[in-house]
A and B are shown apart, each in its own frame.
Chain A
């Protein structure tokens, strides 16, 4: 009895080099998909983990729009039997006493005094020491920077000194700088027992906020407390795990999926090329099978099993490698964003999805050759004849390509796909053009092997065109991503400058007083000091009923410009209790302009009409704006913890030192607009480097396709190459011929890819639906890298194929005829 799987295995391994090339392509495709899925899940899980760690098991918190409020306001709550756990917190800003000449801003530190370091409402992953409610808890990054260990003493200027009792992993509540440069704009955060802090500061009966956990959902208690606190500076908010205000990683996921999709597409194309060639080569075999009684589906079934075997092996090796690759990618990614986070790879679900994709996509890409095998005509195949359809096919392919390319100029999301598919279909024409143009150059470079290479390139026109198209698609998509990443800094720079509202933002832990403001206005270089009122955290619900939180910032037409006003936004805001949402908040909310958004304001639950959506740099658009008078009336909020300073002239560094010197007791942060831009741009620059690595990997994957195609071309020409050698071609001339073919495929891929990339970037920059998301530009570095990597890797792939050609035994290659 025939063992179909064994026969299929023999068939796919008949040509070992081609088998390994194809397998390697599937493996890499599956690996990239796995790596991207693992990265996406892990990134999501990491941010979720740290957000959950921050909120811990707390259900509600009670805050104030003052720096502190009397603890006695909570007396009844503390005695309420529905409250299971509670944590009292007092924040105090001061300076560290360190050896060396660090500036005040670099030494600034926020001490968080907590009533119980071991409370379930706090999650502090201890690395060293213990949470003994006596000493200081220090995050690892700060301990490393300060060179401190458990048991060492930390001195706080003017307050006191205490020993370190525990060093903990990164956690949002204790996020601290990892180097002195970052310390310039980011203060240290440490934790200590509340009692000690109270003793040091003399703030005996006050707290900054309280967190508590209730028995059950505690909705009644929440509502009664909302009512109780209505006319005070104190307010209650549910604790919501929402990190969208501090992280804008949504774009990253798009990046992950694009890379995964691209690698799968390239890999699938390689499989298609290989299976299709194999089917064409074996037409006679299929004809014999059919003449012996095999039906169409049985013949197709044979090929399907071969593809399934390839897919299975590729998946078995590709998935574990992908998990490893995902780990490397995560390290690089967190390095780019300077997160001192630890992560555990979330691989289980991605592995399941990857196995499914890995088994499916090679089969999907092979459907046409599988069908084609079954449709083999017995008579034509046995006679060795082929229907003369090549020229008709070329006309059909090119015409469809031209139409699709033209459709690309319609402003629609689908246009990007039609451009890519159109260019792929037009590749045979491009290849013919390149072969004609380069023929004299190649002849000059390689002599007759060059001339022959130009001739042979068009002999297997479709296959070579498809191979070059694979490379082109990779280059085009990466170029587009590169243009997005490169244009982003300019876009962010413009957006931040136009919506920052000033040159320097100064954050206080207590509300700014008019006296403070006047003091600052006395500085020579300050021309304006505008307070901004920010109600935070304000919890709200999306249209789907998911709880979220953000800040609501007050604005006025004459105040600092905090968003890009394009029309009558200020008029709409002043008309009634309405809000305008930043773009990310609007997207997350999921409603439409004119509908209402439900918020837990300090005055209780309120519905506000969403008057508009605006572009703003504040919290990357995850924010709401409200007219200042309405904010005061409906939120009962009047204090400002931030001042936006406009600097006429002079050094920001000098201003910073003066501010820390004058307001050091309460100052928590000084950030210039340049620093804000820098923090955004440096992450994007890191992303760009990551993209470059991805570009090389994608070109490498495409070059496997080039190698595979050239190998197929070489094997088909065994007899011809044998003849060439017999009549005087040396091995090196045969090698040159194949290298020239590889070079032309690489160049065609580069030319087509760059053209397609430029077209995509242009269309994207002109698109109304993209709303000016991208300005037209030529990503020079990506193009240069594409050219260098494309040529090098294509030549490398051609070299591997030429090895086979030069190692052919002359007598047996001549006999093949």
Chain B
């Protein structure tokens, strides 16, 4: 469902070009939960930005459900992102002047008028992330865990086919991180979204079907839950 072919990404740093992704080929199946790991600067966040259409590759193809993201113009990418991709960021990226409900409904507003059906979905999501009591409060009054719940609800409001999560538990303590990961797993089990999660946390990665290890802009290793030695690898990493 997600097809990446020979993806290259270069950035200009001053006068010099820095290659961040060097010929990445990857296939991710529909409904798969994938964790992307690797040291800082290995290219994992850049990969997420390319998948989300926030940026375009220097070379290569990205197709999501057959749609060529690499060929789309900026506006097309924005509309595609709005309808098909949900984003969860490490630092939540919520709009501080809006309430919980307004933040969650924001992508719907970006599309146009909110129908009663959509309104219902907002309420359902608020309930399902456990924020009913604070739905009319401003973001700055919430805890980190609550803010990340809002971010997850916002990412899921359009019922996107793909959910991209960039270090979703990076700013949370273990207890809150477990809650968020459990929430993601629940939604994944229920709605079968494709989830691609960038993380440094092997515990978080343990929730994924596959773990993709990045090193120097290339895929170094892919570990699948189906692999015979998956548990061994995981234990090795955790150690």
Contacts and interface: CB of A to CB of B under 8 A. Distances in A.
A357 B96 CA distance: 42
Interface string A715-727: 0000110111111
B97 A455 contact: yes
Contacts of B75: 730-732
Contacts of A173: none
Nearest to A455: B97
B106 to A, nearest CB: 6
Given A729-B78, A730-B79, A720 B95 contact: yes
A732 B76 CA distance: 12
A728 B87 CA distance: 10
A811 interface: yes
Nearest to B86: A727
A733 interface: yes
B44 interface: no
A431 B147 CA distance: 31
Interface string B34-78: 000000000000000100101100000000000000000011001
Contacts of B109: 447-448, 451
Contacts of B87: 726-727
A456 B97 contact: yes
Contacts of B74: 731
B55 A726 contact: no
Contact of B78 (A447, A455, A728): A728
Contact of A448 (B49, B96, B110): B110
Contacts of A459: 97
Contacts of A722: 93
Interface in B158-191: 158
A687 B49 CA distance: 61
A720 B140 CA distance: 14
B112 interface: yes
Nearest to B89: A814
B93 A810 contact: no
Contacts of B94: 723
A384 interface: no
Given A726-B87, A728-B82, A810 B112 contact: no
A719 B93 contact: yes
A724 B54 contact: no
Contact of A728 (B49, B89, B111): B111
Interface in B75-115: 75, 78-79, 81-83, 87, 89, 91, 93-98, 106-107, 109-113
B49 to A, nearest CB: 6
A740 B38 CA distance: 44
B interface, how many residues as a size bin?
20 to 34
B138 to A, nearest CB: 11
A567 interface: no
Contacts of B55: 810-811
A719 B92 CA distance: 11
Contacts of A725: 78
A723 B93 CA distance: 6
A817 B110 contact: no
Nearest to B98: A455
B80 to A, nearest CB: 10
B93 A817 contact: yes
Contacts of A811: 49, 54-55
A732 B93 CA distance: 21
B52 A726 contact: yes
Contacts of B210: none
Contacts of A817: 91, 93
B107 A728 contact: yes
Contacts of A814: 54, 89, 93
A465 B95 CA distance: 23
Interface string B108-151: 01111100000000000000000000000000000000000000
A447 B112 contact: yes
Interface in A717-771: 719-720, 722-733
Nearest to B91: A817
Contacts of B96: 720
Contacts of B154: 727
B163 to A, nearest CB: 12
Contacts of A731: 74-75, 78
B90 to A, nearest CB: 9
A785 to B, nearest CB: 35
A456 B95 CA distance: 11
A722 B111 CA distance: 17
A727 B112 contact: no
Interface string A800-811: 000000000011
Nearest to A448: B109
Given A447-B112, A448-B110, A810-B55, A724 B95 contact: yes
Contacts of B113: 447
Contact of A733 (B52, B83, B93, B110): B110
B93 A730 contact: no
A89 to B, nearest CB: 82
A723 B95 contact: yes
Contacts of A455: 97-98
A809 to B, nearest CB: 9
Which of A448, A720, A727 gathers most chain B CB within 10 Å?
A727
B93 A726 contact: yes
Contacts of A729: 78, 110
Contacts of A451: 109
A729 B82 CA distance: 8
A725 B49 CA distance: 13
Nearest to B158: A728
A788 to B, nearest CB: 31
Interface string A629-646: 000000000000000000
Contacts of B107: 727-728
Contact of A810 (B54, B83, B89): B54
Contacts of A447: 109, 112-113
Nearest to B157: A727
A724 B82 CA distance: 10
Interface string A687-728: 000000000000000000000000000000001101111111
B93 A728 contact: no
Contact of A730 (B78, B95, B98): B78
A189 to B, nearest CB: 73
Given A447-B112, A810-B55, A728 B95 contact: no
A732 B91 CA distance: 26
B89 to A, nearest CB: 7
B110 A726 contact: no
A140 B87 CA distance: 80
A720 B97 CA distance: 10
A720 B106 CA distance: 12
A247 to B, nearest CB: 59
Contacts of B95: 720, 723-724
A729 B109 CA distance: 9
Contacts of B112: 447-448
A728 B107 CA distance: 6
B109 to A, nearest CB: 4
B54 to A, nearest CB: 5
Contacts of B54: 726, 810-811, 814
A448 B81 CA distance: 18
A724 B106 contact: yes
Nearest to A815: B91
Q: Which 9 A-B pairs have the closest CB atoms?
A: A728-B82, A448-B109, A723-B93, A728-B110, A728-B107, A730-B78, A810-B54, A727-B107, A729-B110
Interface of A: 447-448, 451, 455-456, 459, 719-720, 722-733, 810-811, 814, 817
20 contacts: A451-B109, A455-B97, A720-B96, A723-B95, A726-B52, A726-B81, A726-B87, A727-B106, A727-B110, A728-B79, A728-B83, A728-B106, A728-B111, A730-B110, A731-B75, A810-B49, A811-B49, A814-B89, A814-B93, A817-B91
Given A726-B89, A727-B82, 14 more contacts: A448-B110, A451-B109, A455-B97, A722-B93, A723-B95, A726-B54, A727-B107, A727-B155, A728-B83, A728-B107, A729-B78, A730-B110, A731-B78, A811-B54
